[in-house]
Chains A and B, each alone.
Chain A
């Protein structure tokens, strides 16, 4: 049998498979190349793909097993970094598991290292076939030089990436905006009592679509917010939904309203315990005067 020069093995994968998409697939692909090189050095000329994959999985699990036992040995000795003794003992555990011969391990525990030294001296080195792109290690900026506005963040945490803070949170790509921001002036529904500034807010332009909430059922709901001059200074907010008009009152000061509630069709009584939510009512009940309905 003539000696063949080290030819390209048939295990060279013509990419029938897709490029690896995830980091785990990437590392698996690299490991597969390394394992196939080892098999070629042993003497194989070709391999079944499933066999190669299985052997690669075994190799990765072997690596992880060494690392796990070495790190656990270090942890039991109150250390976080593993040293040579941990590694040697971990290898010792693994090798006694997978070899059947009992005499290969000498009592001093250096037998494994001796085996490895023999392996290194005996076998020629096989460099890896392809160049691996090295990850760019950029220094991670921390919060150490932060401004006072972010003083609640611990200094040792890394900073946010640049794009997060600068872009406005309130605007999305499809044009949706937060409801509060779409109201003219950015004021939105003011839950606080602001009796003095009860201007008439013409919200007709909201119908133009600035305030459109796309529900999941693709049902467009349009709100029209109007205020009427509160008889008695109360600000009454009305929200018009489609054709209905529902009203609620965020006004905390009940006095002015209760005085006029009898005559007023639009104003509903507001109780103290409804301050946070208001009362929603249908237009149909407007005619009933001071009847109140609570939902």
Chain B
């Protein structure tokens, strides 16, 4: 391998590394800026112009104020509820579906699978879905964010592919020992598919954590709002208001500024913390899905 590189190759490599470094900086810097701003002293931060390479002073006041905001606390707890209950239901439903649709000698398996996959390309659209929710009485309940999101077809395909990969011999020897389908699913298939289950927990969990549009159309009661909907009010709607009234004025409240950054951090940190632990699994999960495609 130690052959001398040609000059063009050296240039190619250098340009490549520089380009990828730039991309990484562009990806990462917004988060760093938000982090630095959120722990800066509000008054010092407002004075500052341009790129932040370090927090301006140090203060956790913004975080304290975020956690004193009753809207945020309430919606944070709601989101935790949606994530916990929603993801549990997701894993259960997806596992049941993936198991049944990956067994051999099930007559209606392919028909059911086809009908399910077809829904990826067809759907009734926003309004019929809204009317359905209205008709079955799910509007303005906690269930509005959980039941219609009970599973996704894409994740079903991923889990089904993983279940198909479990050797048949294990299932057959369990059957000889008198195991039924429940036992096989929960004692053999799931324990052998833990990496994929971890990926599913990550995908579904993040999905519930980040979801806001369902809440926007299905919920009126503020007590049910998830965090993202409250975030939208704080980050986007307030800002457009203040932009309209004080263009060029620049007289925004100092703490108001840093509170926004602290809110972003509080809403994003759980995901960023979870990310390194699950990262080694999810690439595998995506690949499994890709093979089947």
**A, B: real partners:** no
